[in-house]
Structure 1
């Protein structure tokens, strides 16, 4: 640092190099003898730094002390200390105005300058050596490059996120279009059938009203005929002689009194009221956002036009695999005595909701865990049921009767933690098939409608995702030696609904068996 400061003090302001034969002006500033003489020329003479005039007739005198100091500095630096040619300014680059080498950079004007430019034009400007300015600019460019690289990485990440979001939107739109198409398809079928029934009801009401009108018409026509006969008989009696008239008139009886007219029963408003109510129910079905069940698809299959209940399925196209599974459909109900205190049952024990506040004291035999099992159980045959979930963080499974109801450790569930139960845990980004404490990770479940197929004859337990299409998730293979109960676990704030199909019936021979097990 001290050596650099010394060199700065021994640098000529014109050539920006160490003094060569330094001379001193009357103002006290020092310059190389050749530099100041070349600078002045034949015109007026003045100091390049302070602009003080140099007296005419005065002579430049050599600064002996400064020359001695320069000799010492050059001796200490030696030939090896001389700056490498590559470190200095480009010897070929010269000032177009003065023809001198471009040695400095004027930061004020943003251009390369020579020593003459410094003295004449850039004396008060901010200046720097070319190599120093180059290093500073390179550092700035490297910083800018790092920023642009970070922006590039961020832009690529945002682009990837945008592509993923676009893919999700496309998939969601496709699923939504399928659901809406299914809703309208089912609605059109129901409307067509409702039209047929409405026209049939109108025809029946019309026939009944016209039949009443015909009966009244026949009654009135009979009365008119009777009065006409009575009138004719009186005219005939008037033509007889007195004895005969008296004898015959005693036998003549007039027609009975005319009864009040009974108008036919016909009320067009009443016909429209029933139709309005039916159409309102169908519109409510179309706008229903997700109560599970199966009424629309079932109505299309069976031809029934019953109003959709609280557990109606969102209408959607049914694939052949799901129709085949429906052949073994079972309507299940939750067992209230097994439900944890935080689980609230509703809709005739077909829906369960996990709430923060407990219901009250636990019942004997209820789960201390956040679980509930069904009333029904199965020991033979093939059985299928469907469940609608409000969100992720739920578990569907089956278990032997000995599945413990007590809480062991910090876990809030014990489905599939041991050898007596099997389960599918639906998480936010994936699903896991569990048995005997071992899990197999599965892809995420796209929909909230799930199916369970239990084939005891072949020893298969299969879980399906039913939205937007039927897809097998996992199959357990085993030998089931005892009755199996459907069992469920759900996190706080979640809701599970057992979907019902009106035509679902147990095969003959299994009804008593299931009832006995339950």
Structure 2
């Protein structure tokens, strides 16, 4: 009984174990050095028993006399007592106690051969020829290994995220490309003979199947990357929790069971080739019209086309508005058929289809009119001074500008700009670029999102003073509206980059009697 009372007096009030490197506070209470430092860090600088302020932990000194008494008690109390069922001479696995169950000494060493914590007595007998290390040294080595593993998983996660982003972008490109191809194929076949409808459906089905096949691969790849990221995240969480484990024994036991996730397996590459999707169509339609598969061209093919030889490129026709689009049907009430003014066209702009289509080519025309633009621009013959007017154009790609201008728009190049539509007070323009679009007037630009559709509409209302731009594919979308008081006749004007094509879409039977002569 006296021994138990004596041992109780040598028990730390924080860890409830015998003192380890005890220190004495100014208030007279004793605690393990590690315990009181941890208590000050987590709970504040107060004595856990009397709440008196504790000085700087660096000033606390070890109680040598009390440490010697604790060592004597430990040496007198513990005797080799094997556990029930244990084999004689066998080492006991690390349990909840802080001392060796065979020798009663502190477990301050780690046997790398056996993978357990041992005391100094174990090194003389059972672990005499084993590889040993201090607990702190073993933990530092294990921590370094885990940190290196953590860095590797972080790098793998970054690479996986980059691959996921590329895969998602590629999937979006495939979806957009497939949508454009399907729209183009539909518009081509809608003008051909009924006998070609079967071929149209076959082409669309092939594109859809190819798109579905690639997108399925993309989804599988996305799921693989997501699963890998989740596995990396779970492993990182376990590593972080393990690095924060204060108990050395628990840390060493769990660290042996923790393994990093398997490396990411190679992803199946996505295969998408637009030329391959359209290869059969090109062969089939090349004999009918060399412009059938030209980017941005939507010709009107007569019923007799299959029996004709070479013929002139037909005039682009405005697609009929969908019954579910009341806005576009309202705009069509003021539809105007336009034509380009050949005298205004730059030498690099070549007109065709009765001056309703223009293409920018590197080779200039032999002659140029004195009234032509020095810039890559062309304006229409028609001008508008009153009323409301609407027209549609089809562009082959980005890097084109649509707008209207007064007759005084400069023909000569001034400044560093490659076009002058919207650069001054006498013109208004919408510039379509690959990464976005811009609305220009009087030298000021307003940035707008990118325009994916190639069929565009312009609504000019001189009475209310507004000029609105619309994207009509795949559905109608308002792009921007200028508000101004127009005081002079307005001419539609356009700018094209090299290789681009622009066509004025005509609506048969539309009103043109309100347009002013050039």
**What TM-score do the two structures reach when normalised by structure 2?**
0.53
Q: Structure 1 residues 280 and 493 mapped into 2: Cα distance closer, same or farther (>3 Å)?
A: closer
- Residue 375 in structure 1 maps to residue 372 in structure 2: no
Whole-Å Cα distance in 2 between the matches of residues 503 and 444 of structure 1?
33
Retained in 2: the 8 A contact 1:292–1:499? Answer: no
Match of 2:449 in 1: 443
Q: Structure 1 residues 190 and 315 mapped into 2: Cα distance closer, same or farther (>3 Å)?
A: farther
Stretches of structure 1 lacking an aligned partner (at least 5 in a row): 1-77, 193-278, 297-303
Match of 2:392 in 1: 386
Residue pairs, 1:46-57, within 5 angstroms:
none
Structure with bigger gyration radius: 1
Retained in 1: the 8 A contact 2:318–2:505? Answer: no
Match of 1:135 in 2: 140
Structure 1 residue 415 displacement after superposition: 0.9
Structure 1 residue 410 displacement after superposition: 1.7
Residues 110-159 of structure 1, C-alpha deviation per residue, up to 9 Å, x if partnerless? Answer: 55454456566877876532112212322433443354345446545655
Q: Structure 1 residues 416 and 98 mapped into 2: Cα distance closer, same or farther (>3 Å)?
A: same
Whole-Å Cα distance in 1 between the matches of residues 291 and 414 of structure 2?
46
Retained in 2: the 8 A contact 1:294–1:499? Answer: no
Q: Structure 1 residues 92 and 488 mapped into 2: Cα distance closer, same or farther (>3 Å)?
A: same
Q: Structure 1 residues 169 and 328 mapped into 2: Cα distance closer, same or farther (>3 Å)?
A: same
DSSP 3-state at the match of 1:493: coil
DSSP 3-state at the match of 2:373: coil
Whole-Å Cα distance in 2 between the matches of residues 328 and 292 of structure 1?
24
Whole-Å Cα distance in 2 between the matches of residues 458 and 426 of structure 1?
26
Q: Structure 1 residues 125 and 346 mapped into 2: Cα distance closer, same or farther (>3 Å)?
A: farther
Retained in 1: the 8 A contact 2:316–2:503? Answer: no
DSSP 3-state at the match of 1:337: helix
Residues 368-399 of structure 1, C-alpha deviation per residue, up to 9 Å, x if partnerless? Answer: 33322223323234333222222212110111
Residue pairs, 1:457-472, within 5 angstroms:
457-472=463-478
Match of 2:462 in 1: 456
Match of 2:253 in 1: none
DSSP 3-state at the match of 1:440: strand
- Residue 416 in structure 1 maps to residue 422 in structure 2: yes
Whole-Å Cα distance in 2 between the matches of residues 163 and 419 of structure 1?
43
Stretches of structure 2 lacking an aligned partner (at least 5 in a row): 1-59, 68-93, 198-283, 306-311
Residues 449-482 of structure 1, C-alpha deviation per residue, up to 9 Å, x if partnerless? Answer: 1122223343332211111122222222322222
Match of 1:145 in 2: 150
DSSP 3-state at the match of 1:138: helix
Whole-Å Cα distance in 1 between the matches of residues 447 and 131 of structure 2?
67
Count of residues in Structure 1 that have an aligned counterpart in Structure 2: 338
Whole-Å Cα distance in 2 between the matches of residues 505 and 339 of structure 1?
25
**What TM-score do the two structures reach when normalised by structure 1?**
0.53
DSSP 3-state at the match of 1:131: helix
Q: Structure 1 residues 356 and 81 mapped into 2: Cα distance closer, same or farther (>3 Å)?
A: farther
Bigger drift between 420-429 and 158-167 goes to: 158-167
Match of 1:292 in 2: 297
Whole-Å Cα distance in 1 between the matches of residues 388 and 460 of structure 2?
6
Residue pairs, 1:221-260, within 5 angstroms:
none
Bigger drift between 344-353 and 171-180 goes to: 171-180
Whole-Å Cα distance in 1 between the matches of residues 161 and 130 of structure 2?
44
Whole-Å Cα distance in 1 between the matches of residues 435 and 381 of structure 2?
31
Match of 2:406 in 1: 400
Match of 1:425 in 2: 431
Q: Structure 1 residues 370 and 119 mapped into 2: Cα distance closer, same or farther (>3 Å)?
A: farther
Residue pairs, 1:60-139, within 5 angstroms:
80=62, 92-93=97-98, 101-107=106-112, 110-115=115-120, 118=123, 127-139=132-144
Whole-Å Cα distance in 2 between the matches of residues 309 and 326 of structure 1?
25
Give the structure with the larger helix fraction: 1
Q: Structure 1 residues 343 and 128 mapped into 2: Cα distance closer, same or farther (>3 Å)?
A: farther
Whole-Å Cα distance in 1 between the matches of residues 321 and 290 of structure 2?
16
Whole-Å Cα distance in 2 between the matches of residues 504 and 190 of structure 1?
30
Whole-Å Cα distance in 2 between the matches of residues 440 and 176 of structure 1?
31
DSSP 3-state at the match of 1:295: coil
Whole-Å Cα distance in 2 between the matches of residues 102 and 186 of structure 1?
89
Retained in 1: the 8 A contact 2:439–2:447? Answer: yes
Q: Structure 1 residues 481 and 317 mapped into 2: Cα distance closer, same or farther (>3 Å)?
A: closer
Q: Structure 1 residues 487 and 315 mapped into 2: Cα distance closer, same or farther (>3 Å)?
A: closer
Match of 1:60 in 2: none
Equivalent in 313, 324, 330 of residue 336 of structure 2: 330
Q: Structure 1 residues 280 and 360 mapped into 2: Cα distance closer, same or farther (>3 Å)?
A: closer
Match of 2:494 in 1: 488
Structure 1 residue 100 displacement after superposition: 5.4
